[in-house]
Amino acid sequence: MPLVGLLRWIHAHRKESFYILINLLSWMMVFYFPLQHAKMFVVLVFALSGWALGVLPQPIVSLSIIALIPLLMLGTFEEALSGYAQSFIWLLVSTFILAAAVEGTGLGKRIALYLLMKAKGRTNTTILYLLFAIIILGFLIPTAAGRSAMIMPVCVGVFKVITSKELLPSFSKSVMLGVAFTSSFMSWAIITGSSSSIYAVSALETMIGYKWTYLYWLLCNFPLLVLLIFLFWFVLGRKYPLRMKEIPGGYDFIRAEFQALGKISQAEKNILTIGTFTVLMWMSEPFHGLSVSYIALVAAIFSCLPVFGIQSWKDASKHIAWDVIILFGAGFALAEALQRNETATWLALQLTQVIPHVGPFIAGLFMMVMVLFLRLGFANMLAITASLLPITINLAEMWGINPLWLSQIVIIACSFGYFLPVQSPSNLITYSYGYYDEKELAEMGIYVSLITIVVILLGAFFYWPYIGLPPL
């Protein structure tokens, strides 16, 4: 009877059973690999399966990693906690606070409506302006979910005034897929675009001693984003052709929505001033020497001060995604342990025995394709970035490739959540409205993946070397 009960439980909880099984089987590695590396792989399997399958809450998986590192003698408890002492964790906290201020004032919606008004109701132009509205919001809101959620009411409002059955299906699909993918593109275009890019900057500084500046990251990645946006817009137009040049009633609706906001409020003026000052200070970091994290922290404090501030600390603190903060520290601890115990080096050595030497082009293409497939099982971009960066750095060094160059390609590739609704929050948000289905998302994901890979490789070989980031 107990066996029958167990079998019933396994059948009813297949995901949980699979999670338990692969973690139990991971301990078999102690018989085949050097003990220290085997223990490190046990933690890695626990982390990757926990983050990917979602059997346990993400913070529990992350905190368990912190506990396992000293328990398995892979480092001290203090070393496991070192990620929470990184300055960039305060950049993460600060950007959440600033994003709450932007959302609370409605400034983001005002910016989006203003840009869409400029399209004058023209269908193709409206979609292009919408993509650029997402880009501008990316400078103010550090999460793809936040950017998508803020602009959704405007998009749905436009759909509701479209009475043409000939226009609505193609237009709504283009808009929703455009919001989903552009929100993901912004994750790597600027340092503060996502928690993943913030983590990557901190990890690279620790692992290879390279300190990214806000301006140099922008110089490397933003031109590639602009090229990608225009190609993406072209693909949308080909895949979902719009048979009407103007949206009937679309311009009137957007103008009415903009006018309903009234005059810009003092709170909006305050956050606009704080946001503009913050971005300018970030871009001028090489001249004044103040770090991106410090500037963000000062801006976050100002947003919560009386009189000049926009919000109370009580309201701002509710928007801090503490589960992401916990994951940031755990990811850093995992990456540090992989480096400290030389497991990343050992694993890279095994891979180079299978693929002994490759040039930069094959290395970049191989890493992007590999990450593309790995991302099918990972909804969390930060988790896979933390897992792959140490291995990427060691592979680059063994192949004689610039580790910073190859790491940047992998950081961008980790945003490739283009096929399934569950691969990214922006996918889930737009998919939930029902204007496109899973098949349409996957089809567009194929096109977007191909053009993204081409754009990144072109940028990596023909643009990055001219601004100081060569492949060798």
- pLDDT tens, residue by residue, 81-101: 888 888 878 888 888 888 888
Q: What's the longest Cα–Cα distance across the chain? A: 73
Say what the pTM is: 0.84
Tokens of 138: 């990316």
- Give the model's pLDDT for residue 84: 85
Band of residue 343 on the pLDDT scale cut at 50, 70, 90: confident
CA distance 114 to 351: 52
Confidence check: pLDDT of 137 > 90: no
User: Where along the chain do its domains lie?
Assistant: 87-467
| HSE of 173, CA atoms in CB hemisphere, 13 A | 21
- C-alpha 240: how far from chain center: 26
CA distance 391 to 376: 19
What are residue 379's phi and psi, to 5 degrees? -80, -20
Confidence check: pLDDT of 217 > 90: yes
Tokens of 180: 């989903």
- Give the model's pLDDT for residue 181: 92
Question: Which long-range CB contacts under 8 A does 444-451 form with residues at least 24 apart?
Answer: 444/177, 444/181, 444/235, 444/239, 444/418, 445/418, 445/419, 446/418, 446/419, 447/235, 447/239, 448/181, 448/232, 448/235, 448/418, 449/372, 449/416, 449/418, 449/419, 451/228, 451/231, 451/232, 451/235
- Give the model's pLDDT for residue 452: 94
CA distance 445 to 422: 13
